[in-house]
A and B are shown apart, each in its own frame.
Chain A
Amino acid sequence: QVQLQESGPGVVNPSETLSLTCSVSDSSILSGDYYWNWIRQPVGKGLEWIGRIYLSGSINLNPSFQGRVTMFIDKIKRQISLRVTSVTAADTAVYFCAREPYVGGGFDPWGQGTLLTVSS
């Protein structure tokens, strides 16, 4: 059973860039059978889809994040990365990565999530 594990700095200053990494435990990242998604949950609020990346590097984004979010896929390290520029307090959230089948299905599995706090 594949496992996903997010990691990040924990705290980021306002206006700076946040960078998070999701490590994938098996070789499914190389198969082309999946999209890799980032989803976040602000404290006390619901889930919000940020975007997804495919093996080819193709990215689909929530329009709310256009121009501020970049994603990368590192096939050698088996990692997916998320970068969000010009962060504000509104970006404080638990950030999850999740795998999605290329056709149909849902987000499965999810990582445990990493809390990112924007504060000076």
Chain B
Amino acid sequence: QSALTQLASVSGSPGQSISISCTGTSSDIGRYNYVSWYQHHPGKAPKLIIYDVTARPSGISDRFSGSKSGSTASLTISGLQAEDEADYYCSSFTTSITWIFGGGTKLTVL
């Protein structure tokens, strides 16, 4: 199975908003509302920040939001903070009863 498509890197200044896109197919993102997003600081455990396309786990800032249109999902981070600098991964359930990840996007806060 091929990975979901994410841009390798994105950057923004503190206080700005950025969006990270994640493109799949009709067999994954386009088929299910089981899209999740993870924040990963290298050397630490990845953290779930969005699940089921738009839901936020308890304790996750409302600066993080998710959406989906067709086979493309997006993560938006508003009011960028230095601590948001990390790698971000999307994931989707698939019609093969498997999960698939995106290649990851490195967010740099300028």
Contacts and interface: CB of A to CB of B under 8 A. Distances in A.
A119 B52 CA distance: 39
Contact of A112 (B45, B52, B97, B98): B45
Interface residues of A, number: 25
Given A62-B98, A106-B51, A47 B46 contact: yes
Contact of A49 (B34, B40, B98): B98
A107 B1 contact: no
Interface size on B, as a range, is 20 to 34
B6 to A, nearest CB: 9
Contacts of A49: 91, 98-101
A86 to B, nearest CB: 21
Nearest to B32: A104
A63 B1 contact: yes
A52 B51 CA distance: 18
Interface string B88-99: 010100001111
Interface of A: 37, 39, 46-49, 51-52, 60-64, 96, 98, 104-113
